[in-house]
Structure 1
Amino acid sequence: MPFYELTLITRSLSKADLVKALVRAGNTLLNQGAVIEKVESLGHRDLAYRRIAKQTNEKVYTSNMFLFWTHMSREMRESVDSILRQDLDTVHVGIVTNEEKEPIECNLEELLKPPAERQAVKELREKQKMGHFTRQIVFKRTEKEWRSIPKSYPIAPPRY
């Protein structure tokens, strides 16, 4: 079974109602066959943008946030999502696949090099494909820049 991170945002509730809402959400997960690994409270927070409470149609600016780490099948995910979205105490339900990803190697030294010296840029230049008209445009542009440089003035020798 895939590992999911379920974000549950409830409207502002008293402690007793909040416990009932969490128990309802947990029982929903367990009844559908999910395995709850961990439950974490993110506290009472301000929301990034306002939401609307389902029952009262009030604007919700702050709410309680919780994370459920669960294992469940993909079919269960859809049914759990629809059931929890219908709950009147929840404002938002988000279920995200939490797959283990390979650690990213740091290539800061490569990124700090000038583009002409980077290996990725060299590979792009070697593999680039340019059509006839693109080559013409590039040639005309460089020719125009070359012509714009005054060539009748002598270049002074460097001073030491």
Structure 2
Amino acid sequence: MPLFEITVITRSLSKVDLVKALTRAGSTLLDNGAIIEKVESLGHRDLPFKRIAKQTNESVYTSNYFLFHSHLSFDAKKHVLSTLRHDLDTVHVDAIDVTKTTSEVKKCNLEEIMKPPAERESVKSLRENQKMGHFTRQMIYKRTEKEWKSIPKSYPIAPPRP
């Protein structure tokens, strides 16, 4: 079973109601075969944009954020998310697969970046593989044609008359 990070954002509730909402969410997870590793509270904070409470249709601007780190099957995840989304105390519920989000460590290339642009390998490859569009070629042709016409041409000088 993959590890999921389930985000639960609730309405602004009293402590008693908040505990009830979290125990409902936790029991929903456990009833569907989840193994809860950790529950984190990210605190009471402002929402990035306004949400609407389900029961009262009031605007919600601040709420409580919680993270459930749990192992859960994919089928159970769909059922859990639909159940938690229909809970009246939750404003938003989402799950992220943590095992897929781990990325490889990138190598530091500060020495390459500190070189002047003319000496960098990336700039050299850009210059070598540079493609020129039709419009650019046409502008270059017109410019060279204009310069060619602006050069005074020398005419043959007639031989002197006797």
Q: Identify the TM-score tier after normalising by the shorter chain.
A: 0.7 to 0.9
1:49 deviation in Å?
1.1
Partner Cα distance (2:13, 2:56) in 1: 13
- AA aligned to 2:51 is R
1:75 deviation in Å?
1.9
Distance of aligned partners of 1:61 and 1:117 in 2 relative to their CA distance in 1, 3 Å threshold: same
Equivalent residues in 2 for 1:38-57 (5 A)?
38-57=38-57
Instruction: Report the equivalent of 1:66.
Output: 66
1:112 deviation in Å?
4.3
- AA aligned to 1:12 is S
Note the alpha carbon deviations across 1:96-118, whole angstroms, 9 max, x for none: 12132212223344334444433
Equivalent residues in 2 for 1:4-153 (5 A)?
4-99=4-99, 100-128=102-130, 133=134, 136-137=137-138, 139-140=140-141, 143=144, 147=147
1:78 deviation in Å?
1.5
* Structure 1 portions without partners, runs of 5+: 152-160
SS at match of 1:46: strand
Partner Cα distance (1:84, 1:29) in 2: 9
- AA aligned to 1:24 is R
Distance of aligned partners of 1:122 and 1:8 in 2 relative to their CA distance in 1, 3 Å threshold: same
- AA aligned to 1:46 is D
**What's the TM-score, normalizing by structure 2?**
0.77
Distance of aligned partners of 1:124 and 1:2 in 2 relative to their CA distance in 1, 3 Å threshold: farther
- AA aligned to 2:26 is G
| Coordinate RMSD, CA, aligned | 3.0
Partner Cα distance (1:39, 1:142) in 2: 68
Distance of aligned partners of 1:13 and 1:117 in 2 relative to their CA distance in 1, 3 Å threshold: same
1:134 deviation in Å?
5.9
Partner Cα distance (1:141, 1:43) in 2: 65
SS at match of 1:104: coil
* Structure 2 portions without partners, runs of 5+: 152-162
**What's the TM-score, normalizing by structure 1?**
0.77
